[in-house]
Every structure is written in structure tokens, then in C-alpha cells.
A and B are shown apart, each in its own frame.
Chain A
Amino acid sequence: KAGVTQTPRYLIKTRGQQVTLSCSPISGHRSVSWYQQTPGQGLQFLFEYFSETQRNKGNFPGRFSGRQFSNSRSEMNVSTLELGDSALYLCASSRWTAGYQETQYFGPGTRLLVL
């Protein structure tokens, strides 16, 4: 079974630009979560989508947004990029079974560098 895939793997942008990252979950997984990882900060939760609806949201500004499509693929968008947005962005997919979220499986991440 194919794992979680993320594209692109690397991105370089300049301040003020916007960026869109893509995530394809494991087949059969309807939940997709996004995380930001920066050195010393661990994994900071951005949001989770399930069946095209945002189910949970972390404490990030409105410049960070996402969506999910009917095939469970998800995109994350960051507008008006700032230097502090440089990070590894990770996507994770999971199943929900009997009302419980099962284990999350991660993609390889997208490394974003903002200059």
C-alpha cells in the first residue's frame, strides 16, 4: 500500500509570496492533518480535515489555510509568507473508526525556505 505523499519536497520563496503544498493520503484514509516543524518546537498542529471539512484547528494565523478534496487529497496554502514560516511542513493521514482517530502516518514533508 502506498504511503502518504507530499509535493513538492522542497520550495524556496521570498517574503510576501504565497505557497501551496499538496498531500495525498494513504488509500482509505479520510483524515488529513498538517503540522509545522521548526527546530526546538516539535510538531505544531495546523489543522485537520475529514471528509472535506475542517475538524480541528491549531493556533496559527489566518494566513495558513487548507482544504480537502472529495478524493481525500489535501492542500495547504500560506499567503504573505514571512521569514518565520521557513519550516518542514508535514502531512499525516489516518482513519476514523467508530468515532476514534486511529494512528497517524506521516509523509516525507515539504521543506519550505522563505528568503
Chain B
Amino acid sequence: DQQVKQNSPSLSVQEGRISILNCDYTNSMFDYFLWYKKYPAEGPTFLISISSIKDKNEDGRFTVFLNKSAKHLSLHIVPSQPGDSAVYFCAASARIVGNQFYFGTGTSLTVIP
């Protein structure tokens, strides 16, 4: 049972425009969410996180939005750069119960110069 879902396997965006990557979850106990970026043949790199007490967190060009009622989070990248081309994974955890992290299947982002 996939508790974290990324329904778009791929996304193409023009350089300079906004990239929006989406993630849905089913477990209402999840209270901590993260985004990772992964290049081929490398491990995922942590990008940004958000706890359930917030609905937005920003770090430079990256902003994560959390909609708890819809069980949905999104990652916005503005402006998109060719170096952002990678696979992006969202992850969630029910920290309060000491659970593991659950990962989505990833979205491959291509930023076109």
C-alpha cells in the first residue's frame, strides 16, 4: 500500500519558469514531510522539509506547501534552472509514533534551456 504518491512520473519546464511537483499522502498521522533531489548514480540529497504545524516553508528558490486537509504537498522551484533536472522524491513520516519515512516513486524533472 503506497502511503505517499507522486502521480506524475515526469515533468518538463522551460528554464526560468516555475516547476511545481506534487505529492499526495493517505496517512493522517504523518506530521513531517521532506523533499529530496536525486541525480543518477548518486544518493538522494535533502532539499527542504516542513512539519505539519506549518503550511509553507521557503529556502531560496525552493518552497514547499502543505495542505493538510487535502493531504497534499507541493514543491515549487522558482526560477527553474537546467541544473534542477533530476528526480525529486517526497517523503513523509509520523514522527510522533516513531515511524519510518515513506517515500513516493519520484518525479523526473527536466528543465529545458
Contacts and interface: CB of A to CB of B under 8 A. Distances in A.
A75 interface: no
Interface string B36-59: 100001111110010000000000
A107 B43 contact: yes
A108 B43 contact: yes
Given A42-B6, A42-B106, A100-B95, 19 more contacts: A35-B103, A40-B105, A42-B89, A43-B91, A45-B102, A45-B103, A56-B98, A56-B100, A58-B100, A92-B43, A100-B32, A101-B93, A103-B34, A104-B34, A105-B46, A106-B43, A106-B46, A108-B41, A109-B41
A4 interface: yes
Interface residues of B, number: 25
Contacts, number: 59
Nearest to A58: B100
A70 interface: no
Given A42-B105, A100-B95, A101-B95, A109 B100 contact: no
Interface in B2-35: 6, 32, 34
Interface of B: 6, 32, 34, 36, 41-46, 49, 89, 91, 93, 95-96, 98-106
